[in-house]
Amino acid sequence: MSPGYPERGPAEVAPEIERYRVVDVRELAEWHGELGHLAGSKLIPLGELEQRLEELRGEGPLLLVCRSGNRSGKACARLVELGFEAPTNLAGGMIAWNEAGLAVERTDPERS
C-alpha cells in the first residue's frame, strides 16, 4: 500500500536537490550532530510542524528529511492530510545520505 506521498532515496534526489525546498524535521541537537544536514535546508522539528505550516507554503516541491526517514515520513503523511501536495520523503534519511557519501553541512552550535 502506498503511503500517500513519494519516497525517494539519496541517489534519486541528489542530482536534482536544488528543485526542492528541503525541510529537516529533526531536533536542533541532531541538526548540529554528527550526521550534519543538507545545505539550504530549513529546520522545523516534527513537534513544531503544525504550528509552522505557513513556512511550508510556497513554490516548489517539499523534501522532508530526518535521521532515518521515519519522522519525515510521519511529517509527509500529516502534510498530505492537511492538504499539502505530495511532499517527498527522503528514504533512509540522513543516515542513507551520509552512507551514499553525499555532501552535508556541519555547523557549530556555539556559533548559531
Query: What CATH number is attached to the domain comprising 60?
Result: 3.40.250.10
> 2 lies in a domain?
no
Domain carrying residue 22:
7-99
Residue 75 has what pLDDT? Answer: 97
pTM of the model: 0.93
Residue 1 has what pLDDT? Answer: 43
Residue 110 has what pLDDT? Answer: 64
For the chain, how many structural domains are there in total? Answer: 1
Residue 108 has what pLDDT? Answer: 72
Q: In what side-by-side order are the strands of the sheet with 62-65? A: 7-8, 88-90, 62-65, 21-24, 42-43
Per-residue pLDDT of the chain (112 residues; tens, 9 = 90+): 457 899 999 999 999 999 999 999 999 999 999 999 999 999 999 999 999 999 999 889 999 999 999 999 999 999 999 999 889 999 999 999 999 999 999 887 665 4
> 21 lies in a domain?
yes
- Rounded CA-CA distance 36/4 in Å is 28
> 12 lies in a domain?
yes
> 38 lies in a domain?
yes
> 87 lies in a domain?
yes
- Which sign, positive or negative, has the C-alpha torsion 29, 35, 38, 40? positive
CB 46 within 8 A of CB 75: yes
